[in-house]
Amino acid sequence: MVFFTFSWAIGLSLVAFGLVIGAIAPTFGIGGGLLAVPILILVYSLDGNTATATSLGVIIFTSMSGTLAY
């Protein structure tokens, strides 16, 4: 199992990137993973599998909120 330890600054930057991706992706009609995976790989030095799994894990929360709202 991979554990990624980070400081508060990295945690806040992840939240900031999430907000930016959440604003940009729907504007252009693309999935957020298209932007999130390269950022996780290039900026946070995650390997491709971990970055992709993180992006797919976020889909669970998006699907649940959409289901509950419907």
Residues 9 and 43 sit within 8 Å (Cβ to Cβ): no
Residue 61: predicted pLDDT = 86
Residue 16: predicted pLDDT = 94
| pTM, 2 dp | 0.75
Residue 4: predicted pLDDT = 64
Burial, 9: exposed, middle or buried (Cβ in 10 Å; 0-12, 13-18, 19+)?
A: exposed
Residue 33: predicted pLDDT = 87
Residue 3: predicted pLDDT = 63
Identify the H or E element spanning 53. helix 48-69
30: left (phi over 0), alpha (psi -120 to 50) or beta: beta
What count of other Cβ atoms lies within 10 Å of the Cβ of residue 51? 20
- Pick out the chain residues at pLDDT < 70: 1-4
